[in-house]
Amino acid sequence: MINVNIDGKEIQIVEETTIVRAAESAGIWVPTLCYSELFEPYGVCRICSVEVIRGKRSRIVTACNYPLRDNGTKILTNSPRIQTIRKMIMELLLSRWPNVQIIKDIAEAVGVKEPRIKCLERDEDPNACILCGNCVNICKDVVKANVLSFENRGIKREISLPFDEKSDECIVCGACAHVCPTGHIKIKTLGYERGALQDWYLGPKTAINIPTLQAVPRVPIINEEACIKMQTGGCGICSTYCEPEAINYDAKDEEVEIEVGQILLTTGYQTIDLKQMPQYGYGRLDNVYSSLEFEHMLNSTGPTGGTILCKDGSVPRAVGIIHCIGSRDENFHKYCSRVCCMYALKFAHLVKDRTPAEVYQFYIDMRAFGKGYEEFYKRLLDEGVNMIRGKVAEISEGYLTNGEKPFLMVKCEDTLIGKFREIPVDMVILCPAIEPQFDASNIKKIFSISQSPDKFFLERHPKLDPVSTMTDGVFIAGCAQGPKDIPDSVAQASAAAARILSLISLGEVAVDPIKAEVADEYCSGCRICNSLCPYTAISFEEEKKVSFINDMLCKGCGTCVSACPSSAITGKGFTDKQILAELEGILSV
Amino acid sequence: MKPYTIQLMICAGTGCVSNQSFEIKEVLEKEIKKHNLQNEAMVVTTGCNGFCGAGPIMVVQPDGIFYQYLKVTDIPYLVEEHLVKGRPVKKFMYVPPKEEIPIPRMNKIPFFSGQTLVALRNRGMIDPEFIEDYIARGGYRALAKVLTTMSPDEVLKEIKKSGLRGRGGGGFPTGVKWETCKKIPGDRKFVICNADEGDPGAFMDRSIIEGDPHSVIEGMIIGAYAIENVREGYIYVRMEYPLAIKRFNIAVQQAKDNGLLGDNIFDTNFCFDIKVRRGAGAFVCGESTALMASIMGNPGEPRAKYIHTVEKGLYDCPTCLNNVETWANIPQIVLKGADWFTGIGTGDVTHDPWGGSKGTKVFSLAGKVNNTGLVEVPMGITLREIVFNVGGGIRDGKRFKAVQTGGPSGGFIPESLVDLPVDYDELTKVGSMMGSGGMVVLDENNCMVDMAKFFLRFTQDESCGKCVPCREGTKRMYDILYRITKGEGKEEDLDLLEELSNMIVESSLCALGGSAPNPVLTSLKYFREEYLTHVRDKKCPAKVCRELLTFSIDPEKCLENGHGCGVCEKNCPDGAIYGEKKNVHFIDSMKCGKCGVCFDVCKFGAITVE
Amino acid sequence: MKPKLALYWASSCGGCEIAVVDIELKILDVAGFFDIVFWPCIMDFKYKDVEAMQDGDITLCLFNGAIRTSENEHLAKLLRAKSKVLVAFGSCAKEGCIPGLANFYDKKTILDYVYNDSPSLEAESKGVYPEMRTNMPEGEIEIPEFWNTVKTLDQVVDVDYYVPGCPPQSFQIINVIEAVIDILKNGKPLPPKGTILGAGDKTCCDECPRERKEKKIKKFYRPQEIIPDPKECLLDQGIMCMGPATRSGCDALCVKANSGCRGCYGPPPNVMDQGTKMVSALSSVIDSTDPNEVKEIIKTIADPLGTFYRFSLASSLMKRVQQKNGEDKNRKF
Amino acid sequence: MEQDKEFNPKIVAFLCNWCTYTGADLAGVSRLKSSPCVRIIRVMCSGRVDPTFIIKAFKQGADGVFIGGCHIGDCHYSEGNYKTLRRVEFMKTFLEEFGINPKRLRLEWISASEGDKYAATTLEFETEIRELGPLHLVEA
Amino acid sequence: MAKLKIEDLEKITEEFKRKMTLREGAGRVKITVHLGTCGIAAGARKIMNSFMEEIEKSKATDIIMTTSGCAGLCSREPMATVEVIGNAPIKYVDLTIDKVKIIFDKHVMKGAFVQEYALSVGSEKIQ
C-alpha cells in the first residue's frame, strides 16, 4: 500500500493502481474517452491527462494507464496546465466531429463550446468513428479474434477489416458494436438473398446461436468452430455475463461407445443435386428454388416470414411447380420418389392461398394414392391450378420489350393437348428426387447389410420381413429403406420399434446354432486356422497345442472348417458329411 | 599477400554508389589491367568516406591523394596520368571555396582535418565486406579483452565511467541504461540495435553500417556480455537501406562463420547471436516501443512508456536498445579506456552521468554549406567551427541564417547562437536537440515559416495517428502554417500555434509527437518577426513563399539593358506579361501565377521580386 | 498250432519288406510265434503252396505293394481268400504310393516311354515292347498284364486293416506285431475292421517339435532355395510340408531331418482327400487378396498335384489324371 | 453326338447365404429366368466351400461347379470370400492338372440385390458348360 | 569456417598489416621508385621488383612501397627516393640490383643513408 495525494486528498491505494482507479476511489472525476475496464487501457485520447508531481519533477501523464508506484506521489487532475491541455484536445476533437454526442458532452464538461480551429477533415456525422480504438482493442484483447485493425497512419488513420473484406475470423459477437461510443459500428442482419437461401445460409455464423427458431429444445448453443474460447482459450466473456452460470465450455463433441443389442438405422435421404441438370437453371437463374428452399420460405419463422416473394421483393405473378426432377428419369433415378406429387399440390394450394399468382403444375403422372390424397387433388383442380401433363424441357430467362422485370420461361410439351408450350412464370419450384445418403455405402459396410440396386438399404424380405436386415439385430426404417412419405415412415419405424421391443421383452436372444467346433482329439495344432477368423474366435492353446474356437465369437461362416487340413474342425449345421450328402442327393438325378 | 604499391580506395557508400562508383571501379580495374599494373595497384571498395557532397570519391594511398566528382570517362586519363606516369591529376582534386589551388592530400582538406574519428575510425580504410580488414584494424580486440580479462560488472563500470550517452537523440546515459536492464530480474533479455534512421537528410547510421558493420556487432556483443542473460540481439534496419541490410547480413554471417557470434565465443561459455530485421517503412518505428512492436510482428505503433522497455520490452522481456552510433563507440571505449573517452567532450560525468557530453558525435552536414557530408566532431565544438571550418562556409557567399539540428524534431538555432558549443545540454537549452545528428544549415534564402511547414508536413505525415494530440494537432499546425505561407494567416494564429505546440509536446504518447512542434516553437522564438511579416504584411522576406511574392518589371532595366526583348512574355505560362517588342513589358499581377519563370529567363535582371 | 503268417510284395519297392526285417531281434519273436507260410522275399514259396491252402488258413497276411498288374491282382485275391486277416501293409497297398503316381499317365504312354522314348535306351532295344506271350524253348511263357491304372489293395479286395507308411516305421511294426501276438495269445477281441494300425489319429504336426505361429505365406520355397530354421515350422518359413494333412505315426521323421513332410502316412482320419484338403488349408493362409498375386504365389509351388498326392493319388477322390478317355486330349486348356 | 441333344448339364452351385443365395431368391421373386440346371447347395459363406466338395461334385457327375459369394469387401463375415477367391484360384490349376477344364469351375460375386446378375450369370454358365459338353471321368 | 581464437586475431592482423600500413600511409619508411617513361626504359621496374623482394625477405611490415612519375633527371634513371619518416628524403640514382640490396640493408633497415649512391643529400626537405 502506498499513500498518494490527489488534488489535495490523501488516499491509500495498492501499488500499481492506475490514477483513474485511484481518483475514482477518491471520488474525483477524470474525463475519459477511450478508456474501458474491459481491456487494457489504450491511452490514446489523452483527455485523461493529469499532472503527476514527484519531488520537484512534474510531468503530464495519462491517468488511465499510469501505474502509481511511489509513496507520496502528488496528482493534480485539474490544474490550469491540465485544463489547457484538455480544452485544446477537445477543441481538436470537436472541430473534427462536431456532432458526435460523447465528444460534445466531454467538451462541454471541460468548458469548450466552439472550437477556434477549422478542420479540413470535418465530419458532420453524429455516428462518425472517432478512432478511439475501443472496437479494435476489445476484438484483440477480449474476443481475441483480431478482426478489426487500424489502417493508414496520421490523419488518414481509420478502422478497417483486413484487406477491407468480410472477415472469416469474425464471430459476430457484437462486442465491437457494444463498446463503440458513437454507434458507428452496427450489426447488420443479412437480408433475404437468393444465394444465401440456396446455401441454407441462415445469417451470419455466430458463436452462440439458437440453431433454428423452431429448435427443440429452444436453447442457445455454442458453435465450437466459431467460439474463441474453445478455439484459443481466449474471450470467455459470455460466462462472465451469464448469471445462472449455464455456460459450459467443456461440453464438447465426443465419441462414446455404447453397447447395444439392436440397432435401428434411420439415416434418411438426401435430395438430388439439382445443379446436375443445368437446363432447369437451378443456382444460375434467380427465383428457381428447390422444394426444401421453398418450404423454408413458406415457414412463418423463415427469412420472409412466410410471404412468397421473388428475389426482388415482388409478389410472383405466376409460379411453376415441376415434378420428377431426377426421379422417374432414365438418366438419374428410375424409381418414383413418391412424395413429390402431394407436396407439390400442397405448394400449389399455399401459393393460391397466399398470393394471387397463377400456378402451373408440370407432372408426368399424378400419384395421389394415399388416404384422402385423391380428394385433395380434386380440390386443387377446383381451386383452378393449371395441370400440365408433360416433362419440362428447359427453363430460361425471358425479357419483355417494355422493360418490365425478366421472367422465367418454362418450355414443355403438353401431352394432353399434344402441343409444345412455353409458359412464362416468375418463380419455379423444382421437386428433386429423393436419393440415398451419399455415404450409405459406408453405413452398409459398418453394419454388414445390403443395398438394393437403387442403393437404398435392403430389407431381409420385401414382404415378409420389411424392417429387418440380413444382419441380426440391425433394423431399418424410413427413407433409408426407400422413398416414402411421413405416414409410411412412421408406420415402418413403429414396426421396427415393435420388433426390437419384442426381442428386448424376451430378455434373451436365441443364437444361431451354426458354429464351428474343434475336435481336440484330431487337432494337431498346425495353426492354419488361427489367422483366418475375422472375429478372432479362434485361439491357440499353447499348453494343449490345439486350437480352440470361442462359441460366442464364432459366427459360423465355416471358413476354418474347410481350411482345417486334418478336418478337426466341424461346422455345425454344415458339416462335411451333410454337405457331401446333399451333394450326393442333388446329383443323384 | 602481394605487396601492392598503390591502393585505390573507392567510396562505396550509398551516395557514391548512386553516382556510379561501382562502374568506376570496373573501369579502373580494366584500365589497370590494360597497363599491366594489376600487381602493383589494388582497388578497394570502402564504406562511406563522408564527403558525400563531392562524390564519387577515390583516395589513392599511400599518398592520400583525394579525388572528387569522378566520372567513368575520366578514369582512363586518371590511370594513365597518376598510375603510369605518377602525376596526380589536379583537375580532380578538391579546391577550397574561393581559392584556386587544389589540395591534393585528403588529410589536408579542412573537411577532414577538422574531424575526430571514433565511430567512423575505419571509414575509407577497410572493405566493409571483409572481416579480415576489420580485424586487421584492431577489430574484435575489445571483445577479446572483455571476454578474457573483464567481468560483466567491470565492463559496465567502464562504460558508465566513460559518460557515453545515447547517440540516437535522447542522450540517455548508456551505462545507466545497461545497468537498469541488468538489474531487472529475468533470464531472457535482449539487446537491439536501432538502425531505423528516418530523419530526412540524416545518414550517420547508414554510413557506419555500410562502412564498418562489425564495429556495431562487436559493440552489441560487448553490451550483451555486460548486461548478462542476453543471448539474442536484433538489428532493426530500415527497409530503405538495402545496402546497409546487405552489409549487415554479410557481417553477421561472417561473424557467425568465424565463431564471433553463436555459442561459446572465443571458447568461453558466453553465447550470443544476432538477427537482422528489416523495418517496414514507418518513421515512427525508430521509436523504441514501436520498433519492438514491429519486430514482434505487430503494427509499428508506440505504447505508453510508463513501464520502460529495459523492464518490459521485446516479448515483455528486459530489453536494451541503443542506436548504431552508440554501439559503434563501445569497442573503442573498451579498448582505449574510459579516461581516453572522457578526454574528449564537455562537462564532467564522474558523478552525474547527465553532467556532460563526452566523446564525438557524427553529424550529417547538409544545407547551404559548401562541404556537405558526414562529419564526426568532438562534443563541445562550436557550431561556427562546424559550419565555417569543416563545412567550408555558406555557399555562394550568402549570409548564414540558422542551423537546424536534430532532424524534424529538432529546432532552429539562429546566427546569434553560432558560438554555441554543440552538446546535448546546450542544444536542449536553446530549444533544439542533438537528435540523431542531422544538421541543416540555412542561409538568408530560407524562409523560416516555410522550413517549419516543411518539417511539420513530414511529422504529421509520419504520425502513426494513435494518439489524438499528434494525429489531430500536428495536422492542424500544418494547416495553419500552410495558411500563413499562402498569406491567409492571422496574428492570433501564432498564439494558437504556440498553444497547440505546447499541448502536443506535453500530452503526446511518444517522442515523435512530443518533439514534433520543436521547429515551430524555435522558429517562433527566434524568428517571430518573420512570421509577423507573413501574417501582417503578407510578405515573405526570404522570397520563398510564392503566394506572397509580387513579380514586377523594372522598366529601366527592361528597356535599357534588354531593349524590351520579350523573352519573358514568350515564356509566361499564364499570359500575364504583355508589352510591345522593344518597349517596356508589364506583368498583370491578377493573372500572374507566381511561377518565377520570367525571373529565370530574364537575362537582364529586369524582373523584381518583392 | 502256431498261427500262420504270410507276407507278400506286390507293386512296390520292397522297402516294406526291409522294414519288417528291420525290427531286429523282434523278428525272432515273430519267427517263434508264427509259422511263416508264405514270404517269397525271404524263402522259396510257390503260388501253388498258397493255392493249396484252405480258405482262411492263413491267420495274418501282411500285403504290401499296389495293384499294378494282373498278377498283383490275382495274388491279392488269392491271399484274401486264404487269409483270415488281410492287412494292407505300407503306403503302396494302402493308398497307391509312388507307384500310384503312374496314374498321371495311361498305360500306353508309360510303355512307350519305357520301351521307346526313354533316352537311356540303346538304339537296338528301342521299340522292343514286351509280348504278353512268348514262346521259349521251355515252352510258352506268359507275363502278367499291365493295368492302365494303379489301384490300391482295398480297391481290389476287401481289406481288414491298414498299416500306413512308406515304409511303416519299424517301431510301429513292432507295436503292431506285439499287439497281434497279444491278441492271438490271449484271445482278445480284434479291433474294428478298417482300423489303421501302427499310426496315430492326429497329424504329423502333433509329433513335430517345431514352433508354429499364425500362418501367412507370401511365397513357397523349394528346398534348395532356403536354409530352413530348424526350430520354426517349415510352412511358416514357406517350405512345402504336408504335415498338417498327414496322419501321425512316423514320429515326424522327415521334419526332424529338416525336410518337409512328404505325406506318406496318408490323410488323417476324417479327411477324404489329402490333396484338396491341403489346397484348402494352404490357400487359406496365402497372404494376399489380389487374384493375380495369388496366382503368382501358387505358381511358386512346384508340381502341386504330384506334391499333394505324392502317396495318395491312387486312393484320392479323382484316383487318376484324366487322359485320352477323359476331358481333353492335350490337357492344355 | 446324339446324346448332346439330350445333354442337360448338371451344375452344382454353392451359394453363400447372405448374398448370392438371397440374390437367387430375388431372381426368383423377381420372376427372372435363371438356369434350371443349377442345383443349389446353400452354405453360410462361400468360404465354407472346401475344394474337396468341388472334386467330389465332379466325381459325382456334375458338369460344372458354380460358387457364388458376396462382393469382395462386402462379405457378411468380412473376409470369408477372400479365402474362396484363393482356393478357387488354386483349384483351377489343380483341375487343369487333373485334366479337367478349369472353366467348369466358376466363381462369381453376386450380392443380395443382384437377382438379375444371378440369373444372367447362371444362364451364361449353363451355355458355357453346354459348349464344353458333358464331363466323363475315367477311373480305370 | 573455423572458429576464431583470440590468437587468430593477431595472425590476421599480421597478415594484413602491410596492406593496412599502405592504406593508412603510416609506415616507417617510404620508398618511391620513379616510374616515368625514362625510368621504365632504364629498368626502373626491375629496381622496383628487387625492392619488393627485399621487403618480402625482410618480412618488414612498416615499409611503404610506392611509385611516382619522372623526377626530371632522366639521364640518371633508374632512380628511387627513400624517406625514413621524420628525416629528409634521399634520392638514389643510377640504381642496379646490387645497389638496391645495399641501400635497403643500410638505409631502409638501419637508417644510415648510402652516400655514394645518393644524388645529393639535403636537396629535399621534410614535407
- Give the domains, in start order, of chain D with CATH numbers: 10-132 (3.40.50)
- Which residues on B lie below 8 Å from A69 (Cβ)? none
Same domain, C288 and C233: yes
| pLDDT digits 0-9 by tens, B344-381 | 888 888 888 888 888 899 888 888 888 888 888 998 89
Q: What share of chain E is helix, strand, coil (3-state, %, to 5)?
A: 45, 15, 40
Average pLDDT of every residue of chain A: 87
- How many CB atoms are located within 10 Å of the residue B39 CB? 13
Contact between chains at C248 and A524 (C-beta distance less than 8 A): yes
CATH 1.10.730.10 fits B360-443, yes or no: no
Architecture of domain A516-587: 2-Layer Sandwich (3.30)
Return the partners of chain D (3 or more C-beta pairs < 8 Å).
A, C
Residue C104 lies in a domain: yes
Contact with chain D for residue A589, Cβ under 8 A: no
Does an H or E element contain A528, and which? none
Cα separation of C6 and A5, whole Å? 134
Nearest chain A Cα distance for residue C278, angstroms? 6
Disruptive mutation site among D98, D128, D137 for chain C (greatest number of C CBs within 10 Å): D98
- How many CB atoms are located within 10 Å of the residue B568 CB? 26
pLDDT of A499 reads 92
Cα separation of E1 and B491, whole Å? 70
Disruptive mutation site among D16, D38, D48, D117 for chain A (greatest number of A CBs within 10 Å): D48
Cα separation of B284 and A488, whole Å? 74
Contact with chain E for residue B545, Cβ under 8 A: no
Contact between chains at C284 and A566 (C-beta distance less than 8 A): no
Residue C218 lies in a domain: yes
What is the 3-state secondary structure of C167-210?
A: CCCHHHHHHHHHHHHHHHHHCCCCCCCCCECCCCCCEHHHHCCC
Parallel/antiparallel/unpaired status of strands B319-323 and C67-69:
unpaired
Residue E55 lies in a domain: yes
The three-class DSSP label of residue E33 is: strand
Looking at CATH, the fold of the domain delimited by B131-342 is given as Rossmann fold (3.40.50)
Cell 405416414, located at residue = A487
Return the partners of chain C (3 or more C-beta pairs < 8 Å).
A, D
Q: Which amino acid is at A197?
A: L
A205 vs A385, higher pLDDT: A385
CATH, residue E67: 3.40.30.10
Task: Give this prediction's pTM.
Answer: 0.58
DSSP letter (8 states) at residue A276: G
Same domain, C219 and C269: yes
Nearest chain A Cα distance for residue D75, angstroms? 8
Q: What is the mean pLDDT of residues B424-434?
A: 85
- Which residues on B lie below 8 Å from E9 (Cβ)? 135, 139-141, 144
Nearest chain C Cα distance for residue D134, angstroms? 9
What CATH code is assigned to B550-609? 3.30.70.20
Return the partners of chain A (3 or more C-beta pairs < 8 Å).
B, C, D
Contact with chain D for residue A580, Cβ under 8 A: yes
Nearest chain A Cα distance for residue C128, angstroms? 46
Radius of gyration of chain D from its Cα atoms, rounded to whole angstroms:
15
Contact with chain D for residue C149, Cβ under 8 A: yes
Please give the interface size between A and C, counted as residue pairs whose CB atoms are below 8 Å apart: 84
Cα separation of B335 and A357, whole Å? 97
Contact with chain B for residue A75, Cβ under 8 A: no
Contact with chain C for residue D51, Cβ under 8 A: yes
Contact between chains at B467 and A43 (C-beta distance less than 8 A): yes
The three-class DSSP label of residue B494 is: helix
Contact between chains at A116 and B306 (C-beta distance less than 8 A): no
Q: What is the mean pLDDT of residues D103-127?
A: 93
Same domain, C81 and C173: yes
Nearest chain A Cα distance for residue B479, angstroms? 8
Radius of gyration of chain A from its Cα atoms, rounded to whole angstroms:
38
What is the extent of the structural domain holding C117? 100-147
Q: Are B116 and B370 in contact (CB under 8 A)?
A: no
Cα separation of B151 and B343, whole Å? 24
Give the pLDDT band (50/70/90) at residue C250.
Answer: very high
| pLDDT digits 0-9 by tens, A347-398 | 999 999 999 999 999 999 999 988 899 999 999 999 999 999 999 999 998 8
Q: Nearest by CB to E23, which of B9, B144, B257?
A: B9
- Which residues on D lie below 8 Å from C302 (Cβ)? none
Number of domains comprising chain C = 3
Which of the residue ranges A466-475, B251-260, B457-466, B550-559 would you say has the lowest mean pLDDT? B550-559
What is the 3-state secondary structure of chain D?
A: CHHHHCCCCCEEEEEECCCHHHHHHHHHHCCCCCCCCEEEEEECCHHHCCHHHHHHHHHHCCCEEEEEECCCCCECCECHHHHHHHHHHHHHHHHHHHCCCHHHEEEEECCCCCHHHHHHHHHHHHHHHHHHCCCCCCCC
Contact with chain C for residue D82, Cβ under 8 A: yes
Grid coordinates given for A77: 487532475
Return the partners of chain B (3 or more C-beta pairs < 8 Å).
A, E
Is a pLDDT exceeding 80 seen at residue B197? yes
Q: Which residues contact B435 (CB under 8 A, 6 or more apart)?
A: B169, B199, B202, B405, B406, B407, B409, B410
Average pLDDT of every residue of chain B: 86
Q: What is the mean pLDDT of residues B25-29?
A: 88
Disruptive mutation site among C196, C215, C289 for chain A (greatest number of A CBs within 10 Å): C215
| pLDDT digits 0-9 by tens, B273-327 | 999 998 877 888 888 899 999 999 888 888 888 888 888 889 989 999 999 999 9
Is a pLDDT exceeding 70 seen at residue A204? no
Is a pLDDT exceeding 80 seen at residue C28? yes
Looking at CATH, the fold of the domain delimited by A261-510 is given as FAD/NAD(P)-binding domain (3.50.50)
Number of domains comprising chain E = 1
Work out the angle at residue B445's Cα, subtended by the Cα atoms of residues B441 and B446, and round it to the nearest 5 degrees.
55
Grid coordinates given for B333: 571505449
The percentage of chain E sitting over the pLDDT mark of 70, rounded to a whole number, equals 83
Residue C160 lies in a domain: yes
- How many CB atoms are located within 10 Å of the residue A33 CB? 24
Contact with chain A for residue D87, Cβ under 8 A: yes
Same domain, C143 and C155: no
What is the extent of the structural domain holding E45? 25-117
pLDDT of B218 reads 93
Interface of B with A in 496-515 (CB under 8 A): 496, 499-500, 502-503, 506-509
| pLDDT digits 0-9 by tens, B84-111 | 777 788 888 888 877 778 888 887 888 8
| pLDDT digits 0-9 by tens, B542-583 | 888 888 888 888 888 887 777 778 888 888 888 888 888 778
Residue C208 lies in a domain: yes
Instruction: Count Cβ atoms within 10 A of the Cβ of residue C161 and give its class: 0-12 exposed, 13-18 middle, 19 or more buried.
Output: buried
Give the pLDDT band (50/70/90) at residue D2.
Answer: very low
Nearest chain A Cα distance for residue B468, angstroms? 5
Parallel/antiparallel/unpaired status of strands B189-195 and B230-237:
parallel
Give the pLDDT band (50/70/90) at residue E25.
Answer: low
Contact between chains at C281 and A568 (C-beta distance less than 8 A): no
Contact with chain D for residue C268, Cβ under 8 A: no
| pLDDT digits 0-9 by tens, B498-536 | 999 999 998 998 888 888 898 999 999 999 989 998 988
Please give the interface size between B and E, counted as residue pairs whose CB atoms are below 8 Å apart: 99
Contact with chain A for residue B477, Cβ under 8 A: no
Looking at CATH, the fold of the domain delimited by A2-78 is given as Ubiquitin-like (UB roll) (3.10.20)
Residue E17 lies in a domain: no
Cα separation of C161 and C195, whole Å? 5
Cα separation of A148 and A156, whole Å? 16
Contact with chain A for residue B468, Cβ under 8 A: yes
Is a pLDDT exceeding 70 seen at residue A193? no
Q: Nearest by CB to D99, which of C273, C283, C327?
A: C327
Distances (CA, A) of B567 to A319, B462, B553, B600: 81, 43, 13, 11
Task: Write down the ipTM of this complex.
Answer: 0.56
- Which residues on A lie below 8 Å from C272 (Cβ)? 576, 580
Grid coordinates given for C94: 494302402
pLDDT of C323 reads 67
Terminus-to-terminus CA distance in chain C, angstroms?
63
Residue E81 lies in a domain: yes
A112-126, A223-237, C154-168, range with greatest mean pLDDT: C154-168
Is a pLDDT exceeding 80 seen at residue C328? no
Is a pLDDT exceeding 90 seen at residue B597? no
Grid coordinates given for B403: 542551423
Cα separation of A336 and A324, whole Å? 8
| pLDDT digits 0-9 by tens, A236-271 | 778 877 888 888 888 777 899 999 889 999 999 999
Which of the residue ranges A112-116, A427-431, B30-34, E3-7 would you say has the lowest mean pLDDT? E3-7
- Which residues on D lie below 8 Å from C295 (Cβ)? 89
pLDDT of B607 reads 84
Cα separation of C104 and D97, whole Å? 9
Interface of C with A in 209-238 (CB under 8 A): 212-216, 233, 235
With b for 16 or more beta-carbon neighbours within 10 A and e for fewer, the A93-132 pattern comes to bbbbbbebeebbebbeebebeebebebeeeeeeebbbbbb
Return the partners of chain E (3 or more C-beta pairs < 8 Å).
B
Contact between chains at B7 and E17 (C-beta distance less than 8 A): no
Contact between chains at E55 and B132 (C-beta distance less than 8 A): no
Grid coordinates given for B72: 567513368
Q: Please, where in chain B does CATH 3.30.70.20 lie?
A: 550-609
Looking at CATH, the fold of the domain delimited by B6-107 is given as Glutaredoxin (3.40.30)
Grid coordinates given for C17: 519288406
Contact with chain B for residue A61, Cβ under 8 A: yes
CATH of B448-537, one of 1.20.1440.230, 3.40.30.10, 1.10.1060.10, 3.90.1150.10: 1.20.1440.230
Q: Nearest by CB to A579, which of D53, D73, D80?
A: D53
